[in-house]
């Protein structure tokens, strides 16, 4: 089948840079992430880069969302098709979009790795794409790169916007799904599109995949997490609350449903770390949405939620920048985020404003109690250009997202 790269692709350099060292290597490159975050277009960018650097490159592209490839149902189908399309000489670059829709795809990938003249790339919309037995069989033979919605600088570049308060408000409200560049940024248009994306994720990646029976509970659970974004909850507390709303579900089932939402990349589950005892808490996590536009489309973009939305955005930006993020606990006191990368840490508190002395004392006081010398900062909506507080800097949200 003939394949050509779409024109006018917006480059997402951070991801391309992650993949480039492995291009041409006999190792599977796996791009995972929520539906519609741009995984397919990242494949196109990689194909474009390969064509520019290898004039003789043979490309095989399979898109499981395209009916033209509906005949590829099993690992055997996939293996036979790729081998039939492989170039007689030189390297063949193979791209498989939404590989999880192929039964036992791991068996085919393991077999195809035996062909030293194949270079394999695939995408998937489930966090368990390469887990369990498959990961064991492919141990050391693949790298996984999670793809996120557009960062704030990417959002500005995609939409050709200047960095100003109005642009940030659009980003906070509508989120960073790449396709929004084709839509007029109006509530009735964007939120209708985002609700349809949400339905696609829920039905294709959760309800159908896990044979969910209680669809109403699943949707009520998502609304609950949207209403309480950034709050600490255990499965039992969520179960008890929903029971008070006459929605019954046992805590273990709540936990299962939450894990399905995490596996579909709809939400992120963030554990709590005891800064004194140096251990993870076994229960009680925070939940953040991968895409704030979807969250706002479901729950509404409400004035009283701006603090929650801002905190969610700070978390998203930290993971986009490659940090492993946890919530810090000092007894009953909380540090919003401990972010760690390459053995280095930063501590981040998030405050909508710092106009209230009690808020200042809480946000800075918690950070002051941490007895190490890693950087500490308070991120706030309006920022502050004066002195730090005992070495703890204040940074505006706009500056934090763009610096």
| Chain segment 257-284, per-residue pLDDT in tens | 999 999 999 999 999 999 999 999 988 9
pLDDT band at 134 (very low <50, low <70, confident <90, very high): low
Q: Residue 105: what pLDDT?
A: 93
**Integer CA distances (angstroms), 129 to 100, 115, 263, 288, 373, in order:** 6, 22, 9, 21, 38
- Give the burial class of 332: count Cβ atoms within 10 A of its Cβ; 0-12 exposed, 13-18 middle, 19 or more buried: exposed
Q: DSSP letters of 202-259?
A: IIIIIIHHHT-S-HHHHHHHHHHHHHTTT-EE-HHHHHHHHHHTT----HHHHHHHHH
What is the pLDDT averaged over residues 284-312?
Answer: 97
Angle at 345 (CA atoms; ends 341, 349), nearest 5 degrees: 120
CB 350 within 8 A of CB 311: yes
Q: Residue 197: what pLDDT?
A: 98
What is the pLDDT averaged over residues 310-315?
Answer: 98
**Integer CA distances (angstroms), 363 to 285, 296, 357, in order:** 20, 26, 10
Taken in order of first residue, the domains within the chain and their CATH numbers are 13-146 (3.40.50.300), 152-402 (no CATH)
CB 201 within 8 A of CB 289: no
The pLDDT of residue 161 is above 80: yes
202: Cβ contacts below 8 Å, ≥ 6 apart? 218, 219, 222, 264, 266
Q: Residue 128: what pLDDT?
A: 80
Spatial separation of the C-alpha atoms in residues 335 and 151, rounded to whole Å? 23
The DSSP symbol for 392 reads: B
What is the pLDDT averaged over residues 108-135?
Answer: 87
**Integer CA distances (angstroms), 320 to 66, 149, 152, 352, 388, in order:** 29, 9, 10, 21, 26
| Tokens standing for residue 22 | 């492995």
Q: Residue 229: what pLDDT?
A: 97
Classified as helix, coil or strand, 331 is coil
> In the structure, how many helices (H) and strands (E) does the chain have?
16, 15
Q: Residue 403: what pLDDT?
A: 87
pTM: 0.95
* 3-state SS string for 51-110: HHHCCCCEEEEEECCCHHHCCCCEHHHHHHHHHHHCCCCCCEEEEEECHHHCECHHHHHH
Tracing tokens 């391309």 back to the chain, one arrives at 16
Longest CA span, the chain: 72
Q: Residue 383: what pLDDT?
A: 73
> How far from chain centre, in Å, is Cα 52?
29
Summarize pLDDT for 170-192 with one digit per residue, the tens: 999 999 999 999 999 999 999 99
Q: Which secondary structure element, helix H or strand E, spans residue 121, and what is its range?
A: strand 118-124
The pLDDT of residue 37 is above 90: yes
pLDDT band at 132 (very low <50, low <70, confident <90, very high): low
The pLDDT of residue 49 is above 80: yes
Summarize pLDDT for 344-391 with one digit per residue, the tens: 999 999 999 998 888 889 999 999 999 899 999 999 998 777 778 888
Which residue has better confidence, 147 or 356?
Answer: 147
Tell me the range of 68-82, 126-140, 347-361 where mean pLDDT is highest. 68-82
The pLDDT of residue 129 is above 90: no
The pLDDT of residue 247 is above 70: yes
Instruction: Indicate the average pLDDT of the chain.
Output: 93
The pLDDT of residue 334 is above 70: yes
The pLDDT of residue 2 is above 80: no
Share of the chain above pLDDT 90, in %: 84
Q: Residue 322: what pLDDT?
A: 96
Spatial separation of the C-alpha atoms in residues 70 and 241, rounded to whole Å? 44
Summarize pLDDT for 55-74 with one digit per residue, the tens: 889 999 999 999 999 999 99
pLDDT band at 163 (very low <50, low <70, confident <90, very high): very high
Q: What are phi and psi of 321, to 5 degrees?
A: -80, 5
Classified as helix, coil or strand, 348 is strand
CB 352 within 8 A of CB 337: no
């Amino acid at each position: 089948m003939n394949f050509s790269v779409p024109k006018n692709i917006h480059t997402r350099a951070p991801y391309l840079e992650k993949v480039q060292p492995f291009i041409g290597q006999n190792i599977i490159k796996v791009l995972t992430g929520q539906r519609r975050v741009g995984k397919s277009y990242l494949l196109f960018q990689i194909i474009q880069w390969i064509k520019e650097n290898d004039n003789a490159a043979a490309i095989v592209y399979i898109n499981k969302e395209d009916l033209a490839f509906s005949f590829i149902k099993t690992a055997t189908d996939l293996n036979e098709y790729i081998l039939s399309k492989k170039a007689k000489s030189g390297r063949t670059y193979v791209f498989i979009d939404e590989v999880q829709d192929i039964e036992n795809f791991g068996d085919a990938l393991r077999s195809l790795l035996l062909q030293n003249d194949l270079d394999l790339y695939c995408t998937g919309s489930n966090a368990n794409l390469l887990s369990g037995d498959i990961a064991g069989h492919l141990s050391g033979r693949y790298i996984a790169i999670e793809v996120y919605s557009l960062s704030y600088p990417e959002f500005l570049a995609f939409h050709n916007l200047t960095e100003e308060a109005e642009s940030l408000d659009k980003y906070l409200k509508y989120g960073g799904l790449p396709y929004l560049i084709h839509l007029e940024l109006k509530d009735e248009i964007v939120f209708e599109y985002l609700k349809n994306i949400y339905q696609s994720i829920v039905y294709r990646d959760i309800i159908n995949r896990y044979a969910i029976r209680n669809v109403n509970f699943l949707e009520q659970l998502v609304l609950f997490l949207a209403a309480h974004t950034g709050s600490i909850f255990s499965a039992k507390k969520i179960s008890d609350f929903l029971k008070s709303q006459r929605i019954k579900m046992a805590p273990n089932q709540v936990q299962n449903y939450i894990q399905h939402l995490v596996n579909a990349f709809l939400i992120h589950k963030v554990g709590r770390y005891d800064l004194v005892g140096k251990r993870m808490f076994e229960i009680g996590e925070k939940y953040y949405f991968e895409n704030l536009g979807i969250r706002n489309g479901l729950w509404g973009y409400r004035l009283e939620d701006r603090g929650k939305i801002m905190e969610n955005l700070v978390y998203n930006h930290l993971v986009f920048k490659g940090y492993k993020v946890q919530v810090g606990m000092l007894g009953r006191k909380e540090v919003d985020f401990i972010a760690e990368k390459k053995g280095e840490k930063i501590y981040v508190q998030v405050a909508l404003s710092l106009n209230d002395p009690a808020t200042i004392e809480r946000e800075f006081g918690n950070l002051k109690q941490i007895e190490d010398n890693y950087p500490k900062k308070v991120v706030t909506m309006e920022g502050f250009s004066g002195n730090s507080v005992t070495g703890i800097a204040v940074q505006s949200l706009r500056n934090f997202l763009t610096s």
